[in-house]
Amino acid sequence: MPSTVTQSTLNANNAEFLAATERWEACKPPYTSSHMKICVAAAKIILAHVDKPRRSKYEKENFLRIDFSKAGKVTFYAEFPKKMELKGQRLGEWPEMAIQIAREKAASISTEGLRAESVHFVLGQYKADLAAKVARQKLGEHSFRTYCTRIKQIEQAFGERDVFSDVNYHKIIAVLDQWIATKSNNQAIELFAELRRLWKYAAPQFCNGQNVAASVPDDYISSRVQRPMPTRLFTDIESISLLWLNVAAATSVHQKNAVRFMIITGVRPVNVCNLKWDFISANKQEIIYPAGVIGMRGAMKTQKEFRLPITPCIKRILEEQVAWRDSVPDCNKEYVFLQPRDPHLPFAKRSLDKLVKTYSPDNAVKGVRHDGTVKGKEGAFNTMCRKFLKSNIIAQMRARGYSRSDTKEISLLCLHHSNKSADPMAEHYDFSDEILHEEITLKRQAFEAHEASILTQVALIRKKRP
């Protein structure tokens, strides 16, 4: 062939380039370690001559691309046809990774699939999975809303184009460090736990089982922030009694009675809002919160049945609610407490918190506040009614001659707290209460003593007022 084709005469450099090109072309797949050495030497000459950064060899049947750089670096990549709809991936470098190992990894990815969905898409799938659990009665709606709030925070930590399978350890650490710097201690701990749940759910489907979040140390967040401790704040009978009186000024009978019901019973706010007329027994002596069964979540946090005696004060509250319900034809007939602005809906849990904060007297919250305080840092809080019930029942039952250990056991019954340490199999073998009805009798005595102490204090406050 004439040398005029390249418009230049054949020189030593051209001869070296042509020889290197010939050695490069002579190496055919399947490649061996000897081929790697030949191609590295040839690629250095060829790339220097053509002034290109890299050159590749392919084993298409093994979905393998071998990248040779000008500096002599060799990198293996998994590369797939478009019809397979699989994202390519960097596998490793030669000679640290043998070419046979690279082939096996590429084949594994081609079989199991490495997806190219974004983190935002995966979060959508995770949220849909949680929503399906709600539909199957395996997850509560309130819990679902809490998870959704955390999902939104995780979504904000990743860009719309961040591919889930490309997220590496360093990216996860950067996100956690950002949360530590910008979120409260409790938020950072909760978001880390949610991030791990997300990767545990999605890694098998979207990342070939590679759970990068699992490699982060368990104490990465907790060792860097102060874990929030349970609040030591509480209230006393004077403050509770003033709250009882003050809430009478509420604009709706539902507001007044919802707060008073929580004061007397000490139930969680959600169990004020989810109280239904169907829970009231036929003889009007008990409120029975149903247990969870297959296909239906229970009304209580523990998913167990809770029998609450109807005391005189609770009876008056229910009678007022019945009178209101019967006087309003177009309202929700299922729930006991309804929203004042929309009587078609059950009472809102957040409204209870606002009412307690609004109508509690100054200095109602006792104890020491600190930087880690969660409940009570902004004044009165719902749980103080529950805390007071436990403390007051112990005090009132001690005054009636019960021992300290007995009063603690009775307070556990009244708050629907379980004591598994004493007898972990009791719920499966102990049916004495179904036979003797001793538990409801004790609870009735305790709730009536609790109620009487509050109303006595209310009467004293009324006498002192001008």
The CATH number of whichever domain residue 79 belongs to comes to 3.30.160.390
Closest by CA to 384, choosing from 358, 369, 366, 398, is 366
Parallel, antiparallel or unpaired: strands 89-94 and 286-289? unpaired
pLDDT tens by residue, 73-108 = 999 998 888 766 667 778 888 888 888 888 888 887
Q: Average per-residue pLDDT in the chain? A: 86
Looking at the structure, do residues 90 and 154 belong to the same domain, yes or no? no
Residue 177 forms part of a structural domain: yes
Say which residue the tokens 């490649």 belong to.
31
Residue 83 forms part of a structural domain: yes
Looking at the structure, do residues 150 and 267 belong to the same domain, yes or no? no
Looking at the structure, do residues 144 and 13 belong to the same domain, yes or no? no
pLDDT at residue 9 in the model: 44
Looking at the structure, do residues 347 and 326 belong to the same domain, yes or no? yes
Looking at the structure, do residues 356 and 445 belong to the same domain, yes or no? yes
- pLDDT for 274 beyond 70: yes
Residue 232 forms part of a structural domain: no
Q: Which two tokens stand for residue 151?
A: 């999902």
pLDDT tens by residue, 118-137 = 899 999 999 999 999 988 88
The answer to pTM > 0.75 is no
Could you say which of 112, 131, 146 is where a domain stops?
112
Bridge partner list, 54: 69
Q: Which of 1-10, 411-420, 423-432 has the highest mean pLDDT?
A: 411-420
Looking at the structure, do residues 31 and 176 belong to the same domain, yes or no? no
Residue 228 forms part of a structural domain: no
% of the chain at pLDDT higher than 90 = 49
Residue 61 forms part of a structural domain: yes
- Taking the C-alpha atoms of residue 264 and residue 260, their distance in angstroms, rounded to an integer, is 6
Could you say which of 112, 146, 173 is where a domain stops?
112
- Taking the C-alpha atoms of residue 62 and residue 66, their distance in angstroms, rounded to an integer, is 11
Q: Which residue has the higher pLDDT, 86 or 363?
A: 363
Looking at the structure, do residues 381 and 243 belong to the same domain, yes or no? yes
Looking at the structure, do residues 244 and 180 belong to the same domain, yes or no? no
pLDDT at residue 4 in the model: 45
Looking at the structure, do residues 65 and 183 belong to the same domain, yes or no? no
Could you say which of 184, 215, 246 is where a domain stops?
215
Residue 381 forms part of a structural domain: yes
pLDDT at residue 138 in the model: 83
- Taking the C-alpha atoms of residue 70 and residue 407, their distance in angstroms, rounded to an integer, is 81
Residue 223 forms part of a structural domain: no
Looking at the structure, do residues 250 and 201 belong to the same domain, yes or no? no
- pLDDT for 8 beyond 50: no
Looking at the structure, do residues 318 and 286 belong to the same domain, yes or no? yes
Looking at the structure, do residues 255 and 137 belong to the same domain, yes or no? no
pLDDT at residue 377 in the model: 67
Going by pLDDT thresholds of 50, 70 and 90, the confidence category of residue 297 is confident
Structural domains counted in the chain: 3
CA angle 315, 324, 352 (to 5 degrees): 75
State the CATH number of the domain containing residue 422.
1.10.443.10
Residue 49 forms part of a structural domain: yes
CA angle 394, 396, 402 (to 5 degrees): 70
Question: Could you tell me the residue range of the domain that residue 324 belongs to?
Answer: 237-464
Contact 264, 454 (CB under 8 A): yes
From residue 412, how far is each of 158, 232, 390, 408, 418 by CA, in Å? 45, 19, 8, 6, 7
State the CATH number of the domain containing residue 163.
1.10.150.130
CA 358 to chain centre: 30
- pLDDT for 422 beyond 90: no
